[in-house]
Structure 1
Amino acid sequence: MKRTITWVLMAFLLLSTDTSIAQQKTTTMTTQERDYAIRFLKETETDVLNSVKGLSEAQLKFKPAANKWSAEECIKHIAAAEKELWAMAVPVLKQPANPEKRTDIKFTDEQLVKAVEDRSHQSKTITALEPDNSPYKSVAEALNAFKKNRDKLIVFINSTQENLRNHVVVLPVGTYDLYQFILLISAHSNRHTQQIEEVKVNNSFPQY
């Protein structure tokens, strides 16, 4: 089964917890939060770029099985998801803060990241984010788009004075504050970087 963090996978994030989400900070980002988000975004960006650095065309296109993604397909998916997930968050920033919705958040930042990165949970992506439907025609094009969108997000986090904790995204499968949503984007790329590494250690992976 093809795997990704999309709406079906997000359902896995609705983990039960005794942690009171109301205890989350409801002021603008702290220095620690801002630094952590930027570091996480930069680290996962580097990991994505390094995961396919120096790979040949044959290596990029190698699929461990007919129903598995190649490294190329993973990169195209990462790039498309990077753009689409953040596009979902932008309109929320333009709406009035809705901190009253925070009581519907059912997981901490740490639980969210762990759930997204956990590849023992598998799910099929939505059609729009299937690699075959990617707007990117090559790995180079996808990586270029990914880097540009990721760098824009890092600049935003570094400079914004928005109260991200009080802007809450309410989806059919769960509720997230925008700070968490940014962590989700970063963790999502990490999830698929792991998938690429799994492809590369396959016994049939081309040597050249």
Structure 2
Amino acid sequence: PLLLILFVSCWALAADKADKPAATPKYDAKFGEKYLKDTEKNFLDSFNHLSDAQLKFKPAPDKWSVMEVAEHVTKAEDMFNQMVTEQVMKSPADPEKAKQVEGKETGILEKVPDRSVKAQAPEALKPTGQWKTKDELIKHFKETRAKNIAYIKDHYPEMRQHFMDQPPAGLLDAYQWLLFQGAHSKRHTAQIEEVKADPNFPKK
């Protein structure tokens, strides 16, 4: 249910088979590990140097601060870890479904970070001040992201045989769901940069 609410207005095209570029990447364990590491670095680099005033600045009363965006991403990281390890991978292996999800990686990586399409987060993933300091949040995010990276390393290609169908993203395998979260963190890294670009953003 959380995924349905989180992605219903934003990801309708995310898992579609996008037009393939001339050279399609090899979507394997190495690619997945690197993508999660790269998106982690960019996410953390976007705010780990900011002051408390900068972290708490809100462009408007109804907009999230950088700290709130970071909390949302961290909560989603936990949710995806739980979903993949406790639900998707515990479903019966069904290799025959592989053809149905072939090529969806490109759509995920292109569509999910696209902030021209807006979405509303479910209540469970909205910021509530769960982590009192930036350092606590970063520590927690790093721990969960490390688990997700290790999971790809330890369970690929088995991940390609377990699936979950979540409208509107549709059927994805366990590997693709973790790519989805990497792309989700990339999306919100861009949101953090938007907050920082606000003319009223504190200088320090």
Alignment counterpart, residue 95 of structure 1, candidates 77, 91, 97: 91
Counterpart residue number, 2:118? 122
Counterpart residue number, 1:153? 148
Counterpart residue number, 2:188? 192
Partner SS state of residue 112, structure 2: helix
State the Cα distance separating 1:143 from its structure 2 match. 1.3
State the Cα distance separating 1:129 from its structure 2 match. 0.2
Counterpart residue number, 1:108? 104
TM-score normalised by length of structure 2: 0.85
Give me the whole-angstrom Cα distance separating, in 1, the residues matched to 2:75 and 2:164. Answer: 20
State the Cα distance separating 1:38 from its structure 2 match. 0.8
Give me the whole-angstrom Cα distance separating, in 1, the residues matched to 2:174 and 2:107. Answer: 15
Give me the whole-angstrom Cα distance separating, in 2, the residues matched to 1:93 and 1:130. Answer: 26
Identify the range of structure 1 (87-96 vs 146-155) with the bigger mean alpha-carbon deviation: 87-96
Distance 1:65 1:35, change over 3 A: same
Give me the whole-angstrom Cα distance separating, in 2, the residues matched to 1:147 and 1:64. Answer: 27
State the Cα distance separating 1:138 from its structure 2 match. 3.0
Which ranges in structure 1 are unaligned for 5 or more consecutive residues?
A: 20-30
TM-score normalised by length of structure 1: 0.83
Determine if contact 1:15/1:106 at 8 Å carries over to the other structure: no
**1:61-81: CA deviation from partner (whole Å, max 9, x where unpaired):** 111111211100011011000
Distance 1:56 1:207, change over 3 A: same
State the Cα distance separating 1:101 from its structure 2 match. 3.6
Counterpart residue number, 2:54? 59
- Is residue 203 from structure 1 mapped to residue 199 from structure 2 by the alignment? yes
Distance 1:18 1:118, change over 3 A: closer
**1:98-139: CA deviation from partner (whole Å, max 9, x where unpaired):** 23444554862111111111111101010100012x633332
Alignment counterpart, residue 175 of structure 2, candidates 179, 196, 200: 179
Partner SS state of residue 172, structure 2: strand
Distance 1:164 1:16, change over 3 A: closer
Determine if contact 2:152/2:175 at 8 Å carries over to the other structure: no
| Counterpart code for 2:131 | Y
| Counterpart code for 1:160 | H
Which ranges in structure 2 are unaligned for 5 or more consecutive residues?
A: 21-25
Counterpart residue number, 1:27? none
Give me the whole-angstrom Cα distance separating, in 1, the residues matched to 2:154 and 2:56. Answer: 38
Give me the whole-angstrom Cα distance separating, in 1, the residues matched to 2:111 and 2:65. Answer: 23
Counterpart residue number, 1:10? 11
Q: How does 1:136-151 map to 2 (within 5 A)?
A: 136-151=131-146
- Is residue 75 from structure 1 mapped to residue 70 from structure 2 by the alignment? yes
Give me the whole-angstrom Cα distance separating, in 2, the residues matched to 1:101 and 1:189. Answer: 27
Using the aligned pairs only, state the percent identity: 38
| Counterpart code for 1:110 | T
Alignment counterpart, residue 48 of structure 1, candidates 43, 48, 52: 43
| Counterpart code for 2:127 | P
Give me the whole-angstrom Cα distance separating, in 1, the residues matched to 2:99 and 2:29. Answer: 23
Determine if contact 1:13/1:116 at 8 Å carries over to the other structure: yes
